[in-house]
Amino acid sequence: MNFANELRRKSIHAASSVFPIAYWFIDKRTMLLILGPMLIVWLIIEALRHHSPTVGGLVKRYFGGLFRDFEDKALSGAAYVLIANVLTIALFPKEVAIPGLLMLSISDALASLVGMSVGGPRFLGKSWSGSAAFFVSAAAIALTTLPDHPIAGVIAAAVTTVVEALPLRWRHFRIDDNFSIPLSAGLSLIAAMRLFA
């Protein structure tokens, strides 16, 4: 994928920060009632994209440049983002879910764009510059949203940076980083907040 399409893709990805920002002001039940129907509608679109030549052709014509090659036969990143938002909000306390989802929307987008534009040495397929951008932005998010837990925030940012860089798999399935980022952020935040309470 060229940089222009990656920029468009990650701009949409970053725009998903509207969900954790909205969650800051409303309760869990209301947020899930908003996201649940959105997820159902999107999964229907995904099914039609794969099984209806007409819908698939329209999606490819107008948005084809935004899809990675493997998404031609799999769920799109947008579907995983919606699923991750629903799961993270359902599973974690609000104070943990919000920074985890902001790391997903903002830090992941920055890591990709910085990695492509700056480049440099790579480790496990990810550039050091991209990982550095992820860590700095994730730490800033954690410190801003959890000012009373600075140590936990930095630890969670470091853990999530490592997880984002790893090519995680379960059996033959690739674990999408749209799942691994907010879940690892949430778990590491909870653990570190208890450890350094």
Selection from 48-57, 62-71, 165-174, 184-193 with the highest mean pLDDT: 184-193
Per domain, the residue ranges of the chain are 3-195
The band of 99, judged by pLDDT with boundaries at 50, 70 and 90, is very high
DSSP 8-state code for residue 148: T
Tokens 């929307």 sit on residue: 105
pTM of the entire structure?
A: 0.88
Query: Quick one: how far is CA 64 from the chain centroid?
Result: 20
From CA 141, how far away is CA 22, in angstroms rounded?
16
Distance CA 150, CA 65 (A): 40
> pLDDT for 1-42, tens place per residue?
567 777 777 788 889 999 999 999 999 999 999 999 999 998
How does pLDDT run across 153-174, given as a tens digit for each residue?
999 999 999 988 886 665 566 6
